[in-house]
């Protein structure tokens, strides 16, 4: 695959647009004539020719002398994305999907996305038997963690790549975040700032612990114990405010005042700070939490590089389609500490 950002700047947008039309099936066999395309894009035919030459070099189209350019359908592989969230989700999973959709044409993949329907429970998500059963189709799941669902996908004969959460099924390829290192590095940041009573604050899905939060907690524990400090954890319960308040209450029985807190997501820390405010409890002086947004914040955060995550997942999807029987891969991506200047 050609690195798109290395092409001359004049025609990449045109190349990208034509590539995307081909991969989405809008152009299926023969490309419109050079004249027609240059009129549509309002560029000189030579500029257009350069765009087509790029796609020709990629192998996506082929020039037949005097006949024009033809789509090489066999170069296009299919991927079905299963989203563990609703359409137009503006959160973590939605952000991942947007990046995937932007990257997908450059991987010569034809994509179809399935979402949870409003109000639909994940237990009632689309039956793998009802998914398009084309050959050479790989499944890319985003945010799924349900063992039984992975099993039914594999049973239906799909190769599966899982993105984001490491699923607990050894037959699924997956790309996730190295939460162990993340948890340890975030905790080290707070320890190096001189904090001693450091709390780990994890998020959960109702009564179920989230795997990523639990692994962050392991990294936190290792760093605390290495520094000779005692680890203390608390989890919120995102579907039961009373239970959350009870959990937070218990943690303030251990110490009246916490030096610092490391939280597994922004929602959990917000809930914790609100609880402190409502109950007239001292807010920890320092905090750090996991975030995926690139915006500048006044807080110390650990950032997940979603683009890196998506690139690894798509590369895995490509490899898998070429070699259906390859051993499941498990790749973890690092995070970066983002400490604003005023906190350094």
CA pair distance 202, 215, nearest whole angstrom: 10
Give yes or no for residue 335 binding its own copies (CB under 8 A): yes
Query: Which residue's entry shows tokens 């765009």?
Result: 51
Closest CA to 147 of 174, 171, 168, 123: 168
C-beta of 335: minimal distance to its own copies in Å?
7
Give yes or no for residue 339 binding its own copies (CB under 8 A): no
Give yes or no for residue 276 binding its own copies (CB under 8 A): no
C-beta of 244: minimal distance to its own copies in Å?
17
Closest CA to 161 of 153, 216, 101: 153
With b for 16 or more beta-carbon neighbours within 10 A and e for fewer, the 278-303 pattern comes to eeebeebebbbbbbbeeeeeeebbbb
C-beta of 302: minimal distance to its own copies in Å?
10
Stretch that binds its own copies, among 53-61, 99-107, 165-173, 262-270 (CB under 8 A): 165-173
| Per-residue binder mask for its own copies (CB under 8 A), 284-323, x = binder | ------------------------x---------------
The span from the first CA to the last CA of the chain, in angstroms, equals 41
Stretch that binds its own copies, among 45-53, 57-65, 269-277, 326-334 (CB under 8 A): 326-334
Q: Which residues pair with 30 in a beta bridge?
A: 70
Query: Do residues 52 and 18 make contact, with C-beta atoms less than 8 angstroms apart?
Result: yes
Query: Do residues 185 and 302 make contact, with C-beta atoms less than 8 angstroms apart?
Result: yes
Query: Which residue's entry shows tokens 């795997």?
Result: 211
Rule CB under 8 A: choose which of 225, 249, 255, 294 binds its own copies: 225
Rule CB under 8 A: choose which of 33, 73, 133, 170 binds its own copies: 170
Rule CB under 8 A: choose which of 33, 120, 133, 226 binds its own copies: 226
CA pair distance 205, 269, nearest whole angstrom: 15
Query: Rule CB under 8 A: which residues touch its own copies?
Result: 145, 147, 166-170, 178, 180-181, 183-185, 188, 207-209, 211, 214-215, 218-219, 221-223, 225-226, 308, 327-335
């Amino acid at each position: 695959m050609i690195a798109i950002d290395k092409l001359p700047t004049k025609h990449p947008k045109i190349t990208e647009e034509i590539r995307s039309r081909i991969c989405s099936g809008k152009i299926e066999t023969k490309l419109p004539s050079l004249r027609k395309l240059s009129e549509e894009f309002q560029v000189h035919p030579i500029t257009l020719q350069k765009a087509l030459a790029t796609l020709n070099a990629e192998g996506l189209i082929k020039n037949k002398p005097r006949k024009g350019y033809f789509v090489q359908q066999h170069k296009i592989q299919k991927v079905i994305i299963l989203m563990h969230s609703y359409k137009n989700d503006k959160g973590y999973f939605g952000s991942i999907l947007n990046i995937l959709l932007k990257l997908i044409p450059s991987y010569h993949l034809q994509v179809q996305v399935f979402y949870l329907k409003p109000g639909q429970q994940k237990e009632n998500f689309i039956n793998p038997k009802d998914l398009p059963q084309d050959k050479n189709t790989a499944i890319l799941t985003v945010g799924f963690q349900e063992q039984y669902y992975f099993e039914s996908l594999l049973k239906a004969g799909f190769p599966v790549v899982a993105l984001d959460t490491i699923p607990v099924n050894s037959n699924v390829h997956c790309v996730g975040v190295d939460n162990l290192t993340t948890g340890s590095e975030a905790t080290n940041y707070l320890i190096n700032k001189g904090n001693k009573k450091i709390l780990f604050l994890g998020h959960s899905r109702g009564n179920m612990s989230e795997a990523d939060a639990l692994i962050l907690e392991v990294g936190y524990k290792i760093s605390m114990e290495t520094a000779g400090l005692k680890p203390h954890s608390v989890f919120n319960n995102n579907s039961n405010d009373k239970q959350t308040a009870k959990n937070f209450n218990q943690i303030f029985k251990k110490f009246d005042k916490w030096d610092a807190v490391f939280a597994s997501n922004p929602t959990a820390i917000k809930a914790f700070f609100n609880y402190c405010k409502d109950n007239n409890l001292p807010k920890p002086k320092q905090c750090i939490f996991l975030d995926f947004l690139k915006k500048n914040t006044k807080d110390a955060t650990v950032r997940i590089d979603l683009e890196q995550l998506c690139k690894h997942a798509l590369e895995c999807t490509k490899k898998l389609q070429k070699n259906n029987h390859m051993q499941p891969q498990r790749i973890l991506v690092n995070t970066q500490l983002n400490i604003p200047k005023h906190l350094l």
